[in-house]
Amino acid sequence: MINEIVIISGKGGTGKTSLTASIIPFFDDLVLADCDVDAPDLNILIKGTIVEERDFVGFQIPVIDYDKCNHCGLCHTSCNFNAISEDIIINTSACEGCKVCEYVCPTNAISMHDAVVGKIFHRKTIFGPMIDARLIPGEESSGKLVAEVRQLAREVAYAENRNTIIIDGSPGIACNVISAITGVSKAIIVTEPTISGLHDLKKVVHLIKMFSVEAKVIINKYDLSLSKAKEIKDYLSLMDLEVILELPFDLKFVESISNLQIPSTTDIPFFSSKKWFDFIEYLRS
């Protein structure tokens, strides 16, 4: 059975992607899935060559045949999302793909078409295959896209007999996060000792509990506020969640990323500690 591990954070900037990258060198049967589609950063650190590209089709959007359109305006008044103007111009940003306009048009002037809104890439890297995606800016990074990235990651894992998939999830709590956490073996939540960090952590925990996912927490940069770190630990203890790792703030961590190096491959002492190795053992189990 494939070991699917997802790394998420409620708040952005907690160090999720840097930590995900740090875990990678410790696995030799890996497929990487970068599901943080709004900020697909893993491939900045982990370069790869493209093996395959697939178009990603978002939901369908309406296309108007102006030869048939009689400007009755029924589509404009029926649209609940203000996606069709009075002059019958479609605002694709606002459109949610419900097809009501196609249904109400009396002259069959509207038809729904697949819209390619991005691409999914399968790359070959020194650590194994990596699947990531790019969207046209402004387009919705949906649960569907995350699901397709994960699906391709699974296909590649089966095809190449690899037993672990590591998923870099998105920050937040919306459907792209939900899609990243469903059906995983383990979830790792990365948080930071700030008032925002704790606030957002609570929302993620709520989500995790709703989907009954096994989760452990990493408090990153814990020494920026020992009191906040303690508050987080107390909260997690109340929620029956384990803090599996506490990382100190280390300028070398940021420096290594700036030098495009994976932090755990540099001389940062933390990554030679027993705590780190215990954590890797847990991930492998």
Interface with another protein (CB under 8 A), residue total 76
Task: Indicate left, alpha or beta for 180 from its phi (over 0: left) and psi (-120 to 50: alpha).
Answer: alpha
Cα(256)–Cα(258) distance, integer angstroms: 5
Q: Answer yes or no whether residue 3 interacts with another protein by CB under 8 A.
A: no
6 vs 245, beta carbon nearer another protein: 6
Q: Output the CA–CA distances (angstroms, integers) from residue 46 to 7, 52, 144, 216, in the order listed.
A: 17, 17, 25, 25
Q: Exposed e or buried b for every residue in 77-107, given b needs 16+ CB within 10 A?
A: eebeeebbeeebebeeeebeebebbbeebee
Contact flags string 262-281 toward another protein, x per CB under 8 A:
--------------------
Q: Which stretch binds another protein (CB under 8 A): 121-129, 217-225, 240-248, 272-280?
A: 217-225
CB of 126 to another protein, least distance (A): 18
What residues numbered 179-198 form the site for another protein, per CB under 8 A? 179, 181-183, 193-196
Task: Tell me whether residue 149 is exposed, middle or buried, using C-beta atoms within 10 angstroms of its C-beta: 0 to 12, 13 to 18, 19 or more.
Answer: buried
Cα(62)–Cα(147) distance, integer angstroms: 24
Three-state DSSP class for residue 161: coil
Q: Which stretch binds another protein (CB under 8 A): 24-32, 202-210, 238-246, 271-279?
A: 202-210
What residues numbered 91-150 form the site for another protein, per CB under 8 A? 93, 96-100, 103-104, 135, 137-144, 147-148
CB of 71 to another protein, least distance (A): 21
What residues numbered 151-180 form the site for another protein, per CB under 8 A? 151, 158, 171-175, 178-179
What residues numbered 6-25 form the site for another protein, per CB under 8 A? 9-14, 17-18
What residues numbered 234-263 form the site for another protein, per CB under 8 A? 249, 251, 254, 257-260
Side-chain half-sphere CA neighbours of 28 within 13 A: 0
Cα(219)–Cα(22) distance, integer angstroms: 15
Report yes or no: 146 and 138 within 8 Å, Cβ to Cβ.
no
199 vs 275, beta carbon nearer another protein: 199
- The tokens of 59 are what? 């939901």
What residues numbered 35-94 form the site for another protein, per CB under 8 A? 38-39, 41, 44-45, 59-60, 78, 80-81, 93
39 vs 244, beta carbon nearer another protein: 39
